[in-house]
Amino acid sequence: MNEIQTFNKAENPPLVIPDVSNCPFSIVFNEDCVQGLKRFADNYFDLAIVDPPYGFRTEKTGILNFRKGASEKEWNVAPTAEYFNELKRVSKNQIVWGGNYFPELWVNGCRCFVYWHKGNPVPNFADGELAWTSFDRNAKQCDYRYYGNLEGKTSAGDKFHPTQKPIYLYEWLLKEFAEEGNLVLDTHLGSGSSRIACQKNGFNFVGFEIDKEYYEKQEKRFKNFTAQQRLF
């Protein structure tokens, strides 16, 4: 039986995380991920799949700030160097969407970039997205034309986060980069697509979402998904 747990930052989340060796479980913390990651030991997670906000970089200062035209919600604050330090400390491998926006990731280079071909015809939207990875492999591409018909594809009707990615994309990442029994981390959970993909495929999962509104919406989405699973 799957163990599904959620923790709100007002409820004093536990300092000791449950044993992950016996059965798949899913835990989400509604708090700042940088502070939350400090509770975990080095290399605690097998794989981190994250999609942090990248804001925009000004020519004058070179500092990441709020992205033009975006509302100034907490989810859109670009990560600090401390975030990347903690991320790499607690996880053995990382996949970082928007990695091309973060030069701090390029210190040791990157052999295995991931390219997601979105096939999005909307004007002014990118045709695809790049993810930096820590893997020493050949570059990989996920093409919506081949993988977009997988069960669990996100439709426009259930989109509630500005950077929401489809479930099939995370399922593809798990198939390509994760191993059976892995514990997966997502520090910017957003719509919860990564959580659902892990639940579908039997991976232990820990997530963080600082924004209360998105935290509650992904909780509802996840509960609806697990309720459907029980019907079958």
pLDDT band at residue 63 using 50, 70 and 90 as cut-offs: very low
Residue 87 forms part of a structural domain: yes
The pLDDT > 70 percentage for the chain reads 70
Q: What's the sign of the alpha-carbon dihedral 42, 190, 196, 132?
A: negative
pLDDT band at residue 10 using 50, 70 and 90 as cut-offs: very low
Q: Which residue has the higher pLDDT, 174 or 69?
A: 174
Residue 10 forms part of a structural domain: yes
Q: Are 93 and 135 within 8 A, CB to CB? A: yes
Residue 164's pLDDT is 74
Three-state secondary structure call for residue 35:
helix
Least confident residue range of 64-73, 112-121, 131-140: 64-73
Residue 227's pLDDT is 84
Residue 135 forms part of a structural domain: yes
pLDDT of residue 125 exceeding 80, the answer is no
Q: For residue 226, give its domain range.
A: 3-14+22-205+221-231
Close Cβ partners of 220 (under 8 Å, ≥ 6 residues apart):
none
pLDDT of residue 95 exceeding 80, the answer is yes
What is the total count of domains within the chain? 1
Alpha carbon distance 202, 210 (integer Å): 25
- pLDDT digit string (tens) for 207-224? 999 989 989 999 999 998
**Average of per-residue pLDDT across 34-57:** 90
Residue 121's pLDDT is 58
Nearest Cα to Cα of residue 113 among 142, 92, 86: 142
Residue 210 forms part of a structural domain: no
- pLDDT digit string (tens) for 141-187? 998 887 665 544 444 447 766 677 889 999 999 999 999 999 999 99
Residue 140, domain CATH: 3.40.50.150
Residue 140 forms part of a structural domain: yes
Residue 212 forms part of a structural domain: no
Q: Which residue has the higher pLDDT, 34 or 24?
A: 34
Residue 70's pLDDT is 44
Residue 148 forms part of a structural domain: yes
pLDDT of residue 9 exceeding 90, the answer is no
pLDDT of residue 77 exceeding 80, the answer is no
Residue 213 forms part of a structural domain: no
Angle between helices 167-177 and 193-201 (to 10 degrees): 50
If you average pLDDT over each of 9-23, 51-65, 92-106, which comes out highest? Answer: 92-106
Residue 161's pLDDT is 67
Residue 57's pLDDT is 44
